[in-house]
Amino acid sequence: MMGLYFALQALFWAPFLVRGQLDRTAGSHRDGATAHADPQATRLVWAHVVAFALLYGGAGWAFWSGGDDRLPLPVRLVAVPIMLGSTWAMIRVMIVFRSWRLRAVLTEAHELCTEGPFSVVRHPIYTGLVGVAVATMLVAPNGATAAGFVLNLLVGDRRARAEERLLLAAFGERYAAYMARTKRFLPGVY
């Protein structure tokens, strides 16, 4: 099961890597001066890195200690559709989101994206990251993955709120109307 899990993890992160390489090749990472930036953006990205270090550290510990054999197969297999759904969402996000950045920074050329997965929730990337965290906890339930999951939720919410402040400043009523019709992470709930 852990081999499948790690393969699905690689598949999940692939759209980010491909998109980053395509952006560098096309030169689109230089699309104007910074118009809006969150002063804590870099720290929040690093907090997300710590959350995933905990998740993957816990998963690695479970793998090397043989922990993936302790859970019933049906419980472990729930992680597969969660990972596949999260991966599909990331592929769709990277196809439609032309202004993607790792940090909460908007340039003069930033475009507001409300299509694809963004028509369902305002922050599908963070929703996908939480999906990965949930799948990791199912496959490797231990203290490290639980801590990584909780940190992922907290940091994702904080990053989303910071981005929303920037987007409201940049797009005003247009973004406010978008916020009114879509939830932050979970359709119809939150």
Is 94 inside a domain boundary? yes
Whether 117 is covered by a domain: the verdict is yes
* CA dist., res. 146 & res. 118, Å (int): 28
Both tokens of 114, joined, read 């409300």
Mean pLDDT of the chain: 85
Tell me the pLDDT of the chain (190 aa) as tens digits: 667 777 888 888 888 778 776 666 665 555 556 667 778 888 999 999 999 999 999 988 888 887 656 667 787 778 889 989 998 998 899 889 877 777 777 877 788 999 999 999 999 999 999 999 999 898 888 999 999 999 999 999 999 999 999 999 999 999 999 999 999 999 999 9
The confidence score (pLDDT) of residue 2 equals 64
Contact assessment for residue 122 and residue 153, using Cβ atoms and an 8 Å cutoff: no
The count of structural domains within the chain is: 1
Q: Which of 56, 176, 42, 55 is nearest to 122 (CA)?
A: 176
Residue 29 belongs to a domain: no
Q: Any idea what the CATH number is for the domain that residue 73 is in?
A: 1.20.120.1630
The domain in which residue 50 lies consists of 38-181
pLDDT tens, 135-151?
Answer: 989 888 899 999 999 99
pTM: 0.84
Task: Decide if 1 is inside a domain.
Answer: no
CA angle centred on 114, ends 111 and 115, rounded to 5°? 110
Has residue 59 been placed in a domain? yes
| Structural domain contains residue 7 | no
Residue 18 lies in a domain: no
